[in-house]
Structure 1
Amino acid sequence: MPQYQAPLADFQFLLNDWLDINEHYKSLGVEEFDAELANEIIAQGGKFAADVIAPLNREGDEQGCKLEDGQVSTPDGFSAAYKDYVANGWNAMLGSAEYDGQDLPYSMAVPVHEMLNSANLSWRLTTMLTESAILAITKHASEELKSLYLAKLISGEWTGTMNLTEPHAGTDLSLLSTKAEPVGDGRYEITGNKIFITAGDQDWSDNIIHLVLARLPDAPPGVKGISLFLVPKFLLDENGNPGQKNKVSVGSIEKKMGIKASPTCVMNYDGATGWLVGEENQGLACMFTMMNDARFQVGLEGLGTAEASFQGALAYARERLQSRAPQGVQSPDSKADPIVFQPDVARMLLTQKALVEGCRALSMMYAQMMDIEKYADGEQKHQAGMVIQYLTPICKAFMTDMGLEASNLGVQVFGGHGYIREWGMEQLVRDTRIAQLYEGTNGIQALDLIGRKLTRDGGEMMNATYQAFLSKVSMIEETGAKEKATALLEEWKSVSTSQLGKSAEDVASAACDYLAYCAYSLIGVLWYSMADTATRSENTTLASAKGKTRDFYIARLLPRKDMHLAALETGADTVLAVSGSEFDYI
C-alpha cells in the first residue's frame, strides 16, 4: 500500500473557497486567525500524520499491545511519536488559553484530526479521548480540579480516558453498578469494573486521568442516580506531581478484530480515590459533553479510514494491468490496460471519492458550526448549537458506515491482493469496523436522531439545520444547480416534518432509514454547493473533478435516499411481525 498523502488541495478548497474562512473568522470577531494560518497548520499537520504516524500503522497492527506486571506497553515507536506530537503542540490545539492551550478554531483542528485517523487509527485514539476528557473537565469540574489537572492534560503530559461500560451495562447505563463512597475532604472511594476502556493504560504519559461513572450511596435508581468522578492513575503529591499509585489496575487487554495497537482495557477499581466532577447524580449529563464530542470524532475515524482506502485503491488501480478497457486500448505499449480504466473499477473509486469528499464537506460545515458556538453569543450561538446536536448522530453513524463501505471497496479494487495482509487494505476494514459500535452503536445514533433530535423538540433542531443548509444553497450561482439543491433540501424538510407525531414503534423502526435518508440528502445539497463554488476555483483540475464527481453522486448515490424513504414510510408492522420461534422455526 502506498504511503498516505494528506489531501491538502481539498482542504484548501473547502477552507479558502467554500467556507471563505477569512470572512468566517472576521464575522466571529477572531481576526487573529486567518486562511494563511489555517493552511499552514493543516499542511504541517498533514506532514506529521504522513511522515511520523503513518509509517507506524502496519507494524503497530502486527505487534499489538502487551500487559506485563500490570503495565501496558504499546508497539515500537508509538510512545516516541506521541512525545513528538506533544512537543510540537498538537495536543494543545483546542485547549483553553487559560491553561496554556492554543484555543484554535475547530475549523483548523478538524482537518488535522481527520488526517491522523487516516494515517494510524490506533495511534489517534489515545489523543482523541484525551481531548474529550479535557472538554468534560473544562465544562463541569471545580476550579480546584481544573487547576490541578487541565494544564497537563492540555499539554499532553497526561492523558485521559472515559469509563462508562460495564460487563452488564452497555447502552443501558441505568444498569451501572460501580460504587462511589464518600470518605471526607471531597474524596470518594470508587469500586467496580469497567470494560472496553480505550488507552486505560499505556506507556506514553506520566499519569492517566480516568473519568468514571459510578453511583453514590442512596442515589436514585436508573440513569438519574449516576455521578461522574475523576480518578487518576497516580495520586498527586503536594507539588501536583504524580505520586502514590491509586487503587486502579488493568485486568486485561481485550483481544480484538482491529485497532490492535490501541490498548482496550478491562479496568478494576478497588477503592480507588476519586473526586466528583459536576453535581451529584448529574454524571450522565456531564459525560454527554465528552460523549458528543467523541461521537463526532468517531465519525472522523470513518472518514479518515475511507480516505486512506481510496488512496490505496487509486494507486493500485493506476498500476495494475489486466485486460483491455472496453472503451478501447488505453496503454498501447503494454499488453494490458490499467484497471482504473475498467468501468466497474472506476465506479468503485468514484463511490469512494464521492462519499469521502461529501463527508469531508459535512465535517467542515460541522466544524464551522462549532466555531460559531464557541465564539458567538446570543441567538447565533443557540442556533449553531442546535445544528450541532442534530448533525452529531448523522456524522457519527453515516461517516462510519461510509468508512466501512469505502474500505470494503478498497479491498475489492485490489482483488485477491486486498485480502492479503501485506497490502494493508484488510487492516483498514478491521480497524474501521469498531467505529460503527463504540460511542453508541449506529442504531442508537439513529434512534437519538429521530427520537431526541427530531420528534422530542417538535422539529426545532431540524429547522435550525434547514436554515444552515439553506445558507449553503444561497451561495450557488448556477440557476439549474440552485433549483435542484433547493428542491432536494425542501424534500428533506418535508419528509422530516412528516415523522413528527408517529407512534413510538414506527419511529423506532424508521430510525436507521431516516438517518441514511438525511445523510444522502444533505450531502447531496453540499455537493451542489461545492461543485458550484469549484467553478470559480483557480485549480482547474479540481474544478473539473468536483463537477464530475457531483454528477456521479447525484446519478449513482443520491438515489439510495429513495430506497431509505420507501422503507421508513412502511411503518413498524413488517419489522415486528416475526417473533418467537418464527425466527428459527424451533
Structure 2
Amino acid sequence: MPVYKAPLKDMRFVLHELYDSTAIAELPGNADFTPELIDSVLEEAAKISEEVLFPLNQVGDREGCTYENGVVRTPTGYREAYHTFCEGGWTSISADPDYGGQGMPLTAAMMVEEMFCSANVAFGLYPGLSHGAYVALKHSGSDEQKKAWLPNIVSGKWTGTMCLTEPHCGTDLGMLRTKAVPNDDGTYSITGNKIFISAGEHDLAENIVHLVLARLPDAPAGVKGISMFLVPKFLPREDGTLGPRNGMQCTAIEHKMGLNGSATCAMSFDGATGWLVGEPNKGLAAMFKMMNTERLSVGIQGLGIAEVAYQNAVAYARERIQGRSLTGTKAPEKQADPILVHPDVRRMLLTSRAYIEGCRALAGWVARELEILEKSDDGDAKQAADDFASLMTPVVKAMFTDLGFEIASLAVQTYGGHGYIRDHGIEQYVRDARIAMLYEGTNGIQALDLVGRKLPQDGGRLLTRFLDPVLEFIDAHQDNDALAEFLPALSQALEHVQEATGLIMEGAMTNRDEVGAASVDYLRLFGLASLAFVWARMVAVAAPKAGEDGEAAQFYRAKVQTAKFFMERLLPQTGALLAAIRSGAATMMEFEDAAF
C-alpha cells in the first residue's frame, strides 16, 4: 500500500525561513495570518490529506466515475469526503472574505493545495476547478453576479467548471462554434457541444456553475469574437433556492489513462439559459484569468504527485533488499543489502528530491509575488509582481508537470517490476501525472507562450524581473564562503539563459520557426536556472545552521547536500540545452514531409 506524509517541515522552511512569512502578513488584509496561525492551518490540511483524501486515492482509481442516463456518480467515499472537505472550510481558504472566504495568503494556500494533490489529485480537481471559476467571476463578473453566485461557490455548496474545448478545437479557440443568442429578458440561449470538461457533472454538490465560451450572433471571427457566459446546471429562483434543470446534459464521460476519480465529461448545451460575464467579445481575456490560475494549480499537481511518488520510492528503497553494495556488505545480518546502497538508486532518489524541493521553493516565490499583486497598495510593486507571475506561469505549469511525470516514472523504476504492477499503487502516479502535461494548454504551448510572448513583451521587461534579483543575489554573496561552490554554477546557468535569449530573439527576426524550434529547450533551460537560483538562496539560509547539533541541523545539512547534487549533477543540462538551441530550426523544418 502507498504511503504519504505531508512534508510540513520543508513547507515551513520555504514559507518562514526562505521567504519570511511576516513580510506577507504586513500586506493589507493579512495581519491575522501569523506564522503560528499558518502552521496550524498546514497541520490541519495535513490531517485531512493523510486521513480522509489519501485513503480514497486508490479507491477512486479502481472504481472510477460511472455514467448512466446523464447522471454521473463519483467513487465510493467521495461524497462523504467532499462534505467533510467543505465543512472544514477548505474550499474557501484563499477566497475573499466578502464572499465567505478566509483570505489566507496564497503562499500558504499553495502549500495546502500541494498536499491535496499528493493525497488525491483526482478528488482535488473538483474544488480546484471551482476556485478557478471563482477567480474568473470575481475578476470579470458584475457586482450583482458576484453577490448572487460567489458565496455558494466559495462554500463548496456549488461547484464550477470551465467549458472551452469542442470536438474540433482545443488550443485554437478561434474556431469554436457554440452559439449564444440573446433573449428579451437579458439572458442568452446557449447551444453547442463541449468536451473534456473536468467536473462537468457529478453528485458532490447541489449545483454546478459552468463558465462557457460562446459566440454572439454578430461576433467577429476568430478569438476576437468570443464571449463568456455563466450557465448553471439548475436555474436559481429569486429567493436563492434551486429551480428547474437548465437546458444541458452530460452525454458521456471519458475513459481515461488516469485521474479516474475525476469525471471528465462531454457536455451538450441545447438552448441553456446563461448570463453574459464581462463585456461582449472579451470572453477569452476573462477566461484567461481563470486559466492562468489553473495553470499554476496544474503545476502544483505535478509537484504534489512527485512528492508522494518520491516518498514511496524512498520507503521501498529502505525496505527492499537486493544484492550487495559495490563497496562491501552494509547489512551483514540480512541476506542482501537494501537497494538504497546502490549508486543508481541514490541517483534516482536525489534527482527526485532536488527537483521537488527546488520546485516547492520556486512555487513559493511565485505565490509571494501573486500575493503582492492581489493585495499590495504599491502600484510599482504590483506591476513588478504581475510581470514576474506572467513570466513564470508557463514555466511552473510546464516544468513542474514534466518533472512530476519524470519523478513518478523514477519511482516505478526504483520499485522495478513491483512498481509496474498495481499491487503497490505506484503505477497510478505515472498515469495520473501524464494529463497535467496536456490540459490547460499543452507544455509545448506553454513553451511557445514563454518564448513567443513573454520574452519580447514590453521590450524584455518581464525577463528583467527574474534576471535582476539573480544578479543582485550573486553580487551580494560574492564573499559568502558558504556559497563559494554554488555561485559559479548559477552564474554559468544565467549566462546560458542570456545567450539563448539573444539567439532566439535574433533568429525570430528572420524566421519565426526559430522560436518554435527553440521553445521547449529554452523553457527547460530557464526553469533549471530558476531552480539553481532558489537552491542558492536555500543554501544561504541553511548553511549557517547546518553545523549545529541535533536533528534540526541534519535537516539543514540535507538542504546543502541536495543543493550540491542539483548544481553538480542536474544543472549542467543547461549547456546541452543551449547547444540544441544554437543548432537552430533547420534540422527540424528541412526534413521532408513525405518522409515522416
**TM tier, shorter chain?**
over 0.9
1:492 to 489, 497, 502: 497
- Tell me if structure 1 keeps the 8 A contact 2:65–2:263: yes
Aligned residue runs from structure 1 range 306-321, under 5 A: 306-321=306-321
Q: Distance in 2 between matches of 1:458 and 1:13?
A: 36
Aligned residue in 1 for 2:468: 467
- Tell me if structure 1 keeps the 8 A contact 2:236–2:243: yes
Q: Distance in 2 between matches of 1:400 and 1:275?
A: 34
Aligned partner of 2:531: which letter?
Answer: I
- Tell me if structure 2 keeps the 8 A contact 1:122–1:261: yes
Q: Distance in 2 between matches of 1:90 and 1:212?
A: 25
Q: Deviations over 1:337-390 (max 9, x none)?
A: 000111110111111111111111111111111111112130000000100000
Aligned residue runs from structure 1 range 64-75, under 5 A: 64-75=64-75
Aligned residue in 2 for 1:383: 384
1:526 to 520, 526, 534: 534
Say which SS state the counterpart of residue 171 (structure 1) adopts. Answer: coil
Aligned residue in 1 for 2:44: 44
Aligned partner of 2:590: which letter?
Answer: A
Relative to structure 1, the CA distance from residue 29 to residue 261 in structure 2 (aligned partners, 3 Å threshold; closer, same or farther) is closer
Say which SS state the counterpart of residue 337 (structure 2) adopts. Answer: coil
Aligned residue in 1 for 2:93: 93
Q: Distance in 2 between matches of 1:564 and 1:484?
A: 15
Aligned residue runs from structure 1 range 85-164, under 5 A: 85-164=85-164
Say which SS state the counterpart of residue 502 (structure 1) adopts. Answer: helix
Aligned residue in 1 for 2:559: 546
- Tell me if structure 2 keeps the 8 A contact 1:387–1:468: no
Q: Distance in 1 between matches of 2:470 and 2:217?
A: 47
Aligned residue runs from structure 1 range 319-468, under 5 A: 319-376=319-376, 377-468=378-469
What is the Cα deviation at residue 569 of structure 1? Answer: 1.6
What is the Cα deviation at residue 27 of structure 1? Answer: 6.1
Whether 1:536 aligns to 2:544 is yes
What is the Cα deviation at residue 265 of structure 1? Answer: 0.1
2:579 to 566, 572, 575: 566
Gaps of 5+ in 1: none
Q: Deviations over 1:220-269 (max 9, x none)?
A: 00000000000000000121122110011001000100001100000000
Q: Deviations over 1:72-124 (max 9, x none)?
A: 10001111111111101111011111111111110110001001001111100
Q: Distance in 2 between matches of 1:266 and 1:223?
A: 22
Say which SS state the counterpart of residue 195 (structure 1) adopts. Answer: strand
Gaps of 5+ in 2: none
Say which SS state the counterpart of residue 387 (structure 1) adopts. Answer: helix
Aligned residue in 1 for 2:277: 277
Q: Distance in 1 between matches of 2:488 and 2:577?
A: 23
2:570 to 557, 563, 567: 557
Relative to structure 1, the CA distance from residue 279 to residue 168 in structure 2 (aligned partners, 3 Å threshold; closer, same or farther) is same
What is the Cα deviation at residue 29 of structure 1? Answer: 7.4
What is the Cα deviation at residue 333 of structure 1? Answer: 0.8
**Corresponding residue pairs, total:** 583
Whether 1:251 aligns to 2:251 is yes
What is the Cα deviation at residue 143 of structure 1? Answer: 1.2
Aligned residue runs from structure 1 range 495-510, under 5 A: 495-503=500-508, 504-510=512-518
Question: TM-score, normalising length from structure 2?
Answer: 0.95
Aligned residue in 2 for 1:180: 180
Say which SS state the counterpart of residue 458 (structure 1) adopts. Answer: helix
Aligned residue in 1 for 2:219: 219
Relative to structure 1, the CA distance from residue 472 to residue 62 in structure 2 (aligned partners, 3 Å threshold; closer, same or farther) is farther
Q: Does 16-25 or 363-372 show the bigger shift?
A: 16-25
- Tell me if structure 1 keeps the 8 A contact 2:93–2:101: yes
Q: Distance in 2 between matches of 1:471 and 1:242?
A: 57
- Tell me if structure 2 keeps the 8 A contact 1:229–1:274: yes
Aligned partner of 1:532: which letter?
Answer: A
What is the Cα deviation at residue 526 of structure 1? Answer: 1.1
Aligned residue in 2 for 1:516: 524
Q: Deviations over 1:191-231 (max 9, x none)?
A: 00000000001111010000000000010000000000000
Q: Distance in 2 between matches of 1:198 and 1:77?
A: 19
- Tell me if structure 2 keeps the 8 A contact 1:114–1:303: yes
Aligned partner of 2:582: which letter?
Answer: E
What is the Cα deviation at residue 571 of structure 1? Answer: 1.3
Q: Distance in 2 between matches of 1:403 and 1:170?
A: 23
CA RMSD, Structure 1 to Structure 2 (Å):
1.5
- Tell me if structure 1 keeps the 8 A contact 2:489–2:567: no
